Structure 1
Amino acid sequence: MRKLIEYFFIVFFRLILSFRYRIRFKGLDKLSKEALKKPGGVLFLPNHPSVFVDPISVALGIWPRFPIRPMIVEYFYYQPIVHVLMKFVRALPVPNFDVGSNSLKRKKSEEVVQEVIKDLKKGDNFLIYPAGRTKQTAFEAIGGASAVHRIVQEAPEANIVLVRTKGLWGSMFSRAFIGKAPPLFPTLLQGVKYVLMNLIFFTPRREIIVEFELPPADFPYKASRLEFNRWLERWYNKPDGLTTQVGAYPGDSLVLIPYTIWSKKLPEPWKQDKELSKEFDIEKIPVEIQEKIILEIAKITEMKAGDIKPEMAFDTDLGMDSLDVAELISFIQDYYDLKSVNPLEMTTVGRAMAIAAKIYVCQEEPPQVVGADSKKWFKKVPREKLRIPEGQTIPEAFLNISKEKGSRVICADERAGILTYKDLRMRVILLAEYIKTLPGEYVGIMLPASVAAMATILATQLAGKVPLLVNWTVGPRHLDAVVNLSNVQVVLSSWTFLDRLENVDLHAVEDRLVMLEDVRRKFSLKDKLKALFLSKLSAKTVIKSIGSDKRTKDDKAVLLFTSGTENLPKGVPLTHNNILSNLRDAPTVLDFYSDDIFLSILPPFHAFGFTASGLFPLLAGFKVFYSPDPTDGSKLARLSKEWKATLLCGAPTFLKGILKSGTPEHFESLRICVTGAEKAPPELFRLSEKIGKRDAVVEGYGITECSPILTANRMGEEHVGVGRPLDSVELLVVHPETYEVIDQATQGLILARGPNVFSGYLNPAQASPFVEVQGKQWYKTGDLGHIDAKGNLIISGRQKRFVKIGGEMISLASIEDALLEAAHTKGWPISDEKPSLAVCAKEDPSLKTKIYLFTDFETTTDEVNQTLKEKGFSNLVKVSEVKVLPEIPIMGSGKIYYRELENKYLA
């Protein structure tokens, strides 16, 4: 049967290509058993002038005699139809390092190389492009690519066949016209149209030569990677004689063929944008940045720093492959606090210096929404005040409102497009049927703000499981603790998300990851029809059918984790009642209407992102557009205008970035801007006033353990502190040590209680966060403050030694512990008799919080921050300055006198 299918594919592709191409094969007679006498399989190494055409052409020449397994980039491997064919030929998908690098990609890349080496030795045949991508110019540039060189070194049993395809540079499937790989299906469709315009049989033909050759005597089997790649480049770029144009060598001739017999007009080749190719004035880049970048490149390439020049290209001059460039990008992002660096724009040493110096900003492609229909999005709905529907659990409330609203548009993002309640309801039910088969009580979800994230959360709850929201931003130590504490066995994520996730260590969860794209391909027609049928039924019937009808309001609805304020993160289980009571309070504080549009930016691992900006719009019934990166202010300002957002919420840091990036026109529709997570600085109000929305800003106060909202200022009222408590929330101010009730106008420890407050941490050894006062159980918030005569809460400080940076809680004690643990390996002289280091922080509402390290020995901020990174801290945790003192001050009790350090050195 397999042979029959192979024969069908060969005949099909020969026929398809024959309408436009005439293919000539040379050297096939050389591929005899006598010539290929090594015991392993055959490794075919072709050049790569185009998508689709050249791999098919090569395969037609050698199949079925040599059934090959191609190595193919993931985004192409998983495309519809292509995926079926690739699975049939047992292709190997490899990560795309052109859009980012992370530990998962590096691990997968290593696994693929190892599989190729192993299976080559067993006799399998592989087709691998040494360059790793379609050529960008007429010259086939392999640069520093390392995979093929390594495979050849480690699999000497393999037979090697060199393949050179000529005549395709100038094809619509090459990069010659748009400067990047053309999209497969639109280009194929265009090609079909041209064939039909030419009455099928009269289409102008393009000549293709596919030449096979065995390695000559001088083939560099044992050469270095750079020497090996240079040899291949010389072989691939030999003159082809296809045109008489001047300068055709080195590289392929640009062959332009008319698309139709009705016109002799030739297509115009692409010319690189001068703005992107411009050189930089090196003298404008600080010398220390130039030196730092060169030293890092020297470390990566093992070259002498003096031999590295700004004009050198990473691939052709320095022999750096995509993994090497990814390592350099990781360094630049860490050291120079850059959010995003496009690997495709990291071309030369000078470009890297300019990026690090922020002289050059990497270009971004404008966002596109799948199947966007603006008329559908902006269709008017009756304006009415909103409420959370009936239901003891979150899935019940969602199923109730989705049944009621049906075809009304509810959510959208760039990947999912625009969805109605009916669309979302079916997706949730379909996914829930799969999730209920997964092992364990908890199902990890690692996704940014998106339709996929919220659909997966609702599906997990509907399946009777507890979603565990994974924070990928806080470092490997956090992830290790989360896995060990929860024993989560499956973490749902997405290739689309992980493909662009840069500079993140995911080792703790790599073996547990299941991709939603893979899950989607498992759904049969029967599964989809069943979900469609169930989606027409009532909430109670759906819940009973899926088998989660035993869940009650007091069951866990989610497991969130704190950022590790006391060395390790704390697991915070919240019940359905905790969350629903908090969400039902929200419309009593602010007016929300059915025609509102929410721009949701906070990740769902953030309590506010999970409830207020994640679930709330879906349960309340107003449209929400999800965008995954809260730090991309310019994009979010643009989205606010495009989607006419009326509601926005986030930490002040994120909101300032958005408001700074836009103009009053971008926020013309904005009605309410809710902020929390950290104190709102005066600058935020100044920015909102500048765009004409001074009264739109509403500041609130919340804690993960409280689901999370406790207080909020009311619109139209004077802004005082963090506002008054929600209707179902009680606050009490007590003495921080004795817990005696004190005058509420006097500063003390703030206690909270209400149906939104959780019942305790998942951590078995964690001390209780509750205290009994006046016969009631209260949650200790850890915040100090007082309540004014009108009931407004004014926060004055934190009780424990931690600070908020970027909305995350950073423990100063955990930084000290990590540095003390590393002291021996770093050679720091730590005294046994007195403290040798201490960490303090300086918080300023108008500036970024800074962390200071006091020591009685010499070290540098670079060494300290590198140590913290090695210890698993996130990029948020960075020491701003090291202050060396004769000795660290101590109190009479022997404890470090932090107050003296702060008053004397940080005042």
Structure 2
Amino acid sequence: MNLSDQLCETARNQPEKTAYIFEDRETSYEELERSVRQFAAQLQALGYKKGDHIALILGNSPHFIIGLYGALRIGAIVIPVNPLYTPHEITYILQNGNVKLLLTMDLLVKKMDAIIEKLPHLEHVIICETRSDAAFSRKSDKMKSFTKVMRNTSGEFIPPETKKEDVALILYTSGTTGKPKGAMLTHKNLFSNAKDTADYLQISGHDRVIAALPMFHVFCLTVSLNAPLMNGGTVLILPKFSPQESFRLAKKFKATIFAGVPTMYNYLLQSGKGSKDDLASIRLCISGGAAMPIALLENFEKAFDVIVSEGYGLSEASPVTCFNPLDRPRKPGSIGTNIMHVENKVVDEFGEELPPGEVGELVVKGPNVMKGYYKMPEETASTIIDGWLHTGDMARMDDEGYFYIVDRKKDMILVGGYNVYPREVEEVLFSHPQIAEAAVIGVPDSNSGEAVQAFVVSNDVEMTEDEVLMYCGSHLAKYKIPTHIVFLEEIPKNTTGKILRRSLREAVNAR
């Protein structure tokens, strides 16, 4: 059984049940299954088959769900991509990921025009119409209308044989090498984590889950999409997060679960747009992606009379590994305990398990752990050792089996829930002909949690901050662009030439 087959089974058992609500319109499981099967049939009619790579560059929408489950239905490998990425970033992923077909939206046609010519192996770009006034002109014969593709009912769908170890998804996550790494998740990885998460959080057909996080991110993909659809629940699709719309959706459709990153909870709390009545139907708020400040957690719970429970996960683990149990009071500041069938432990530099209370690296083992990094065997070998996924996060465990993250992945910056790795930004800075050295760190930011700050050594004494920021803007997604550039005569390093980021942070804190 895989996710797409499970959807078919759910539609067969409860066809009239509401699968999702989008723009206040309800769509049944029978309708969703029909669209998924039709899209899968059209993919086959276009010549796509098991193992082909299909990318989704879409916002939260029915198109994403149909595209995801339709592609999985024919055994294709899906690559979700952040629509906010620049053409430069998208091109790398599509090239590295050997993408043959791209499903995107009309609002991104201009961005796609800049990409298509660089991708000779890209056979089709299917454009999803999202607005009546966003008509697109086809500059390439590769472009097709999603609506017209779906109208073409010729040909029957022939389901391929898929195995649980077949790769279903490749999630590109920024790496310390400066280039994104593609985590290969199998059908078993995705199915097991969705099922185990649903069982652990008691997600059932009675639940209505708000999908406010971006669907291209594995947090939303598993917790807010796959888990509820697996058990006949209803997904309340929020195209773009906004406090006002979140409150409205929760109240009107009696949402029971909300999942978000701490920044979202802060926006909900500070917006002044909602009340306890708006969230009266919510039984569980889920927080992940970053450590939630205890003060924020307590203030949010007091303001809205709900429980916020934290969990932990990473793309390489599909993603959930830990969560605060629902059968006892959760521990503020903790990421919880092992979910079903997943084992976490804290180890020293030699891989030996540490006793409770001691800090070491968090490692994970279970059916949710990725197959490896796409086309990166060395990275895979150094990340998965003896079956254990090394997260790179420092953690400790208490006497009751609750885990606590002590520090995030080394040097990672979390901007509004999005991961930014310093090396990726530094590579762009280094590519500027007048920049000799560069270093990037995260600094506290009241709006996004953290912001990117860059330190550069320039060969041009007249170089300005605006010039550097403009250069970054042409190569990086908006949330990765530094908010401030500091010019230095030399970047502090240790005796081996390694950048001393701690010294940079201390300099910022001393100001």
Same fold (TM over 0.5): yes
- 1:722 corresponds to which residue? 335
> How many Å apart are 1:670 and its aligned residue?
1.5
CA 1:525–1:704 in structure 2 vs 1: closer, same or farther (change >3 Å)?
closer
1:853 aligns with 2:460: no
Q: CA–CA distance in 1 between the matches of 2:455 and 2:15?
A: 61
Q: Quick one: distance in 1 between partners of 2:61 and 2:21? A: 8
Instruction: Spell out the pairing of 1:390-469 with structure 2 (5 A cutoff).
Output: 392-414=1-23, 417-439=25-47, 441-469=52-80
Contact 2:173 2:181 in 1 (8 A): yes
Matched, 1:891 2:494: yes
Aligned to 2:132: none
1:848 and 1:862 mapped to 2: Cα distance? 23
1:559 is paired with a residue whose SS is strand
> 5+ unaligned residues in a row in structure 1: which ranges?
1-391, 531-544, 831-835
Q: Larger C-alpha radius of gyration, 1 or 2?
A: 1
State yes or no: 1:863 paired with 2:467. yes
DSSP-derived class of the 2:480 partner: coil
Equivalent residue letter for 2:10: I
Q: Is structure 2 residue 285 aligned with structure 1 residue 682?
A: no
Cα 1:692–1:658 change in 2 (3 A) is closer
| One-letter code aligned to 1:521 | K
Unpaired runs of at least 5, structure 2: 130-144
Write the mapping of 1:484-633 to structure 2, written as runs, cut at 5 A: 484-495=95-106, 498=108, 507-509=114-116, 512-516=124-128, 518-523=145-150, 527=154, 546-630=157-241, 632-633=242-243
One-letter code of the match for 1:428?
V
Query: Following superposition of structure 1 onto structure 2, how do residues 307-386 of structure 1 map, counting pairs within 5 Å?
Result: none
Report the equivalent of 1:784: 394
Structure-1-length-normalised TM-score: 0.50
Higher-strand-fraction structure: 2
In structure 2, how many angstroms separate the alpha carbons of the residues matched to 1:850 and 1:808?
Answer: 11
Query: Which residue of 2 is the match for residue 756 of structure 1?
Result: 368
Q: What CA distance in whole angstroms lies between the structure 1 residues aligned with 2:381 and 2:373?
A: 8
* Partners of 1:526 and 1:852 in 2: CA distance: 53
Post-superposition offset of 1:526: 5.6
1:84-109 CA-partner distances (Å, limit 9, x unpaired): xxxxxxxxxxxxxxxxxxxxxxxxxx
1:842 maps onto 2:443 in alignment: yes
How many angstroms apart in 2 are the aligned matches of 1:755 and 1:663?
A: 40
> 2:159 & 2:507 partners in 1: Cα distance?
60
Alignment coverage as a number of residue pairs: 480
The secondary structure found in structure 1 opposite 2:66 is helix
Q: Name the CA distance, whole Å, in 2 between partners of 1:526 and 1:763.
A: 37
Distance 1:428 1:855 in 2: 50
Deviations 1:862-898 (A, max 9, x none): 222212112x111112323333445433322233332
Q: Distance in 1 between matches of 2:261 and 2:97?
A: 28
Alpha carbons of 1:789 and 1:629: their partners in 2 closer, same or farther (altered >3 Å)?
Answer: same
Structure-2 change in CA distance of 1:884 and 1:492 (3 Å): closer
SS in 2 for 1:411: strand
Indicate the SS of the match to 2:304. Answer: coil
Q: Deviations over 1:149-176 (max 9, x none)?
A: xxxxxxxxxxxxxxxxxxxxxxxxxxxx
Instruction: Return the offset for 1:566.
Output: 3.1
2:317 and 2:206 mapped to 1: Cα distance? 29
Q: Which amino acid aligns with 1:575?
A: T
Separation in structure 2 between the aligned mates of residue 772 and residue 856 of structure 1, nearest angstrom: 37
Q: Could you tell me whether the CA contact under 8 Å between 1:682 and 1:845 is conserved in 2?
A: no
Q: Is contact 2:454-2:482 (8 Å) kept?
A: yes
- Is 1:706 equivalent to 2:295 in the alignment? no
Amino acid at match of 1:576: H
Tell me the equivalent position of 1:879: 482
Partner of 1:655: helix, strand, or coil? helix
Q: 1:815 to 1:662 in 2, by over 3 A?
A: same
Q: Distance in 2 between matches of 1:552 and 1:847?
A: 41
CA deviation after TM superposition for structure 1 residue 850, in Å? 2.9
Distance 1:795 1:769, change over 3 A: farther
C-alpha distance in 2 between matches for 1:432 and 1:690: 47
SS in 1 for 2:99: coil
Structure 2 partner of 1:38: none
CA gap 1:477/1:687 in 2 versus in 1, 3 angstroms? farther
Whether contact under 8 Å (1:852, 1:880) holds in the other structure is yes
State the shift of 1:425 in Å: 1.5
Q: In 2, distance between residues paired with 1:759 and 1:596?
A: 31
Distance 1:770 1:887 in 2: 32
Task: State, as a whole percentage, how many aligned pairs show the same letter.
Answer: 25
**Separation of aligned partners in 2, 1:884 and 1:452:** 45
Matches within 5 A, 1:140-155: none
Normalised TM-score (structure 2) = 0.86
Quick one: distance in 2 between partners of 1:769 and 1:798? 22
CA distance in 1, matches of 2:34, 2:397: 47
Relative contact order, CA 8 A, sep 6+: which one is greater?
2
Residue aligning to 2:134: none
Letter of the aligned partner of 2:452 in structure 1? Answer: I
